[in-house]
Structure 1
Amino acid sequence: MRGQLGQIVRFGLVGAINTGTFYGCYLLLHPWMPYFAAYSIAFVLSMVGSFFLNTYFTYRTRPTWKKFALFPLTNVTNYLVQSVGLYALVTWAGMDDRIAPLVAAVVAIPFTYLLSKKILVPGGRKAEADAVGPTGPAGDAGLESDSVATR
């Protein structure tokens, strides 16, 4: 249970960093394009950062090409929850389109946590215990053949 709580706290920290990255990109892009295009580009950029932060810091597992390929698939649900939320908040609730992405992101947090854990820690507790030593990921920093890292 203690390890699970630590994961949730780390996930929250990564989420805060990721949200800041997303929101900063969104605000930089928003003056030059429609709000939804700015939102989509910012979302993709922050998703790549989220993969690496969650792999190394939250779940303390190795990044692999397979996980990298699957991670966006899990975020499709996150994207849909946020997109519907954004549209509803701006169109139906009349919320400012500079604030609505943050509100929509909060609603998507539980979905993102559960889906990212399923993808990044396949096999549950045993796989997690095998991948994580006392100081972090076991082995040679995840440099197996399907690793995202390069030699």
Structure 2
Amino acid sequence: MIKKIKEKFLNKQFLTFGLIGAFNTIASQVLYIIFVNINLAPSLSSFSGDAITMVISYFMNMKFTYHEKCTWKNAVSFPLSYLPGMIINMLIVMLAVNVGVPKTYAKLISLPITIPVNYICMSIIVRLTGNKSSQK
């Protein structure tokens, strides 16, 4: 089991995904803080920041992580890969704020859970919608 976990998460593809994710996480966090500061609800601020950065993530991950062409099929399917992570993130933000975590930092608490969830879901979607000749 540990070998399977290492194979899935300790490789170049996951590292690339992580670097792109780090960029998108920072961008999403900045948007979240902006939205919270204009009095948007923390859960909606979190969801909005994630939705905006998802577009950037799509193009970067298709090119650099999965080496796939951007197509309408995978562009339409891509948001499905983010949905579980976005929902988990939104719920964790709501819970964190309700237990007293400052709104500005609540989103950061979800990262250890949402990053692996997003990677697994995105890998499945890309495998199902990607160019069959480029898959290993």
1:109 matched residue in structure 2: 115
| TM-score, with structure 1 as normaliser | 0.75
Considering fraction of residues, name the structure with more helix. Answer: 2
Q: Percent identity?
A: 25
The 5 A counterparts of 1:1-151 are: 5-32=11-38, 33-92=40-99, 94-122=100-128, 127=132, 130-131=133-134
Q: Is the 8 A contact 2:85 2:114 kept in 1?
A: yes
Amino acid of the residue matched to residue 13 of structure 1? Answer: L
Shift in Å at residue 123 of structure 1?
A: 7.7
Aligned length: 127
| TM-score, with structure 2 as normaliser | 0.82
Shift in Å at residue 23 of structure 1?
A: 0.8
Gaps of 5+ in 2: 1-6
CA RMSD between the two structures: 2.3
Q: Distance in 2 between matches of 1:104 and 1:49?
A: 20
Q: Deviations over 1:92-132 (max 9, x none)?
A: 3x1111111011133111111011011123389x94xx338
Gaps of 5+ in 1: 133-151
Amino acid of the residue matched to residue 36 of structure 1? Answer: S
Shift in Å at residue 21 of structure 1?
A: 0.9
1:136 matched residue in structure 2: none
Q: Distance in 2 between matches of 1:30 and 1:41?
A: 11
Q: Distance in 1 between matches of 2:35 and 2:90?
A: 17
